[in-house]
Structure 1
């Protein structure tokens, strides 16, 4: 596969002879990696499987990864603690899962009305994003090394059983909702719960929840939401892009030599490319299929989008006042975005011209 060859070549930045010497000298490491998303889910779980398939090659045979599907070794919500304490030496999830312990973690996962994938990566790699990301875990007392290791573009913002035309239509709904967007929905009268992807269909079918958001069309299709709910809303104002993380226990990380660490980091960067490309390649066909299955694809009206945005700014005020580190990250990201806006406003075609 052409893409695979390019990615491997990117990761293997050292000479073949250097890799051979390292393979002889370096201790071999097995990364036992529980994951938060099934490896069968495209662009959500497939990137870490792709990573596991390639880290052995890029490390010259000195690192292998064994993946454990969600709940098989560690429950998704326990991955951070498991990696930090050394129960496992690595894990794959998204930082928004930890916002109950680390409020700022959600800012490293998905930001309502926030950066799209390109801007997000720019802040992480060339702004202060990665520095702050690691600082958050260090300050929290977690013994982990964090690496962004996948990213996807916008999600859908909800599957509903009936049209949502005005704010009153949200009142009293019970809805599965993730991350910072859940705080917005709660302020609008929605009761929110966080459910793993595999539990959402059953909850909708039984009426335990009235609506749900989860991920992109191709992923939602695999989970069968269209069989129960027929109104799918866009744009994904709550998750314009979502970052996924590889967590490595610091004791394991510190045992790696420089070439092993470089292989781990560079393969994660290659996986970022793989994930965004895979996700972008399949959404339109999934949306076409959804229409054939009777799904009505809707775009939020101006009143509702405006309401989501103004409510989000209220949430920001509350969270920046409540948590100093959330405020620190938010201010840094906001400053970066102000600069990026000059480029964005001038460099990209307006949507209405992209016909």
Structure 2
């Protein structure tokens, strides 16, 4: 009797397994995606973050969902990632969406509005202030869905062949500057150039451009800018942060199993911490090395900062009247910033200022 019960139970168990296994397999299909990025492989934090992201997705999905990253130029140039994702050349990309401000100036809010938010404030606005919903409303027009990923933190003001002493030194300046900030510089007489990361050094070396901004000390050191331009300016007022995005072709995204969508979302958030933390760890020693290599560290004159700030706000006011996406995002972001800045002044600024004053006393 007991033996018959055991065999019966065992048979039922085997039958259940035979049914369950295909169901699990169907729920976790093997999927391969291509992942175009805007970064050269030499940038081991931006491109390295993309590699980290793909490994996390593979781990979460037991290697069922494989995403292969490609550096800028391997499938498409670094500044064409949005187009490649939009038209289905690749399923997914990683980029700074402000590169595509020419399609719509509102794209700048996804990465960094000049004189906008810092890193903590930007990710807070995107995730909790309605910012990412507005970004995805814009991306939907390009058949794309986006999720925030790594941020560089506040950036430097870039490398200049000549010293900037007044606003007059901006006039006629040929500068590689990413995103919407070039429009502000142009209003002040500069000649902005949008050049992908891997092409900046030869342009600066040959004198095709007079100045260039990229990210900050760690990446700037890797790209060798100190060899061809000595004046290193701060702050990068156009990027109090620089928020990257993972972007997916909307049709491909909607076709994914929900748990694969969750894997991308989870790995993207994990990658944010990885990239931002790495930059904070590596920029400080890199800045010291650049100074030893001959970099001359300079703050932008107050006159220059205030002129840029005034020009920026004039442009924002005009665009808010004519561009619905820009108007909605600007209203949302400034409302958030109005609430956030007093709190940051009370908490973060007071603490940071005290610790910086005390650093020589410990």
Q: Which residue of 2 aligns with 1:147?
A: 147
Superposed CA deviations along residues 184-213 of structure 1, whole A, max 9, x for unmatched, are 111111101101111111111111111111
Q: Which residue of 2 aligns with 1:12?
A: none
Q: Which residue of 1 aligns with 2:354?
A: 353
Superposed CA deviations along residues 131-158 of structure 1, whole A, max 9, x for unmatched, are 11111112x2x22221112111011112
Superposed CA deviations along residues 59-108 of structure 1, whole A, max 9, x for unmatched, are 23221111111111112222212212211111111111111112211111
Superposed counterparts of 1:124-143, under 5 Å: 124-138=126-140, 140=141, 142-143=142-143
Equivalent of residue 27 in structure 1, options 8, 29, 45 = 29
Does structure 2 conserve the Cα–Cα contact (< 8 Å) formed by 1:23 and 1:60? no
Superposed counterparts of 1:42-81, under 5 Å: 42-81=44-83
TM-score by length of 1: 0.90
Closer, same or farther: CA 160–259 of 1 in aligned 2, 3 Å = same
Once structures 1 and 2 are overlaid, which stretch shifts more, 307-316 or 268-277? 307-316
SS of corresponding position for 2:180: helix
Closer, same or farther: CA 310–41 of 1 in aligned 2, 3 Å = same
Q: Which residue of 1 aligns with 2:254?
A: 254
Q: Distance in 2 between matches of 1:276 and 1:63?
A: 25
Q: Distance in 2 between matches of 1:258 and 1:27?
A: 12
Q: Distance in 2 between matches of 1:325 and 1:55?
A: 32
Once structures 1 and 2 are overlaid, which stretch shifts more, 232-241 or 56-65? 56-65
SS of corresponding position for 1:348: helix
Question: 5+ residue gaps in structure 1?
Answer: 1-17
Q: Distance in 2 between matches of 1:305 and 1:47?
A: 32
Q: Which residue of 1 aligns with 2:218?
A: 218
Q: Distance in 2 between matches of 1:23 and 1:215?
A: 43
Closer, same or farther: CA 23–312 of 1 in aligned 2, 3 Å = farther
Superposed counterparts of 1:1-355, under 5 Å: 25-138=27-140, 140=141, 142-350=142-350, 352-355=353-356
SS of corresponding position for 1:165: coil
* Higher Rg of the two aligned structures: 2
Does structure 1 conserve the Cα–Cα contact (< 8 Å) formed by 2:93 and 2:248? yes
SS of corresponding position for 2:146: strand
Q: Distance in 2 between matches of 1:163 and 1:232?
A: 9
Shift of 1:23: 5.5
Superposed CA deviations along residues 193-247 of structure 1, whole A, max 9, x for unmatched, are 1011111111111111111111111101111100010000011111010111111
Once structures 1 and 2 are overlaid, which stretch shifts more, 288-297 or 335-344? 335-344
* Total equivalences in the alignment: 335
Once structures 1 and 2 are overlaid, which stretch shifts more, 285-294 or 304-313? 304-313
Q: Distance in 1 between matches of 2:25 and 2:121?
A: 37
Closer, same or farther: CA 232–85 of 1 in aligned 2, 3 Å = same
Q: Distance in 2 between matches of 1:119 and 1:81?
A: 28
Does structure 1 conserve the Cα–Cα contact (< 8 Å) formed by 2:105 and 2:180? no
Question: 5+ residue gaps in structure 2?
Answer: 1-19, 357-362
Shift of 1:330: 0.6
Does structure 2 conserve the Cα–Cα contact (< 8 Å) formed by 1:22 and 1:259? no
Shift of 1:252: 1.7
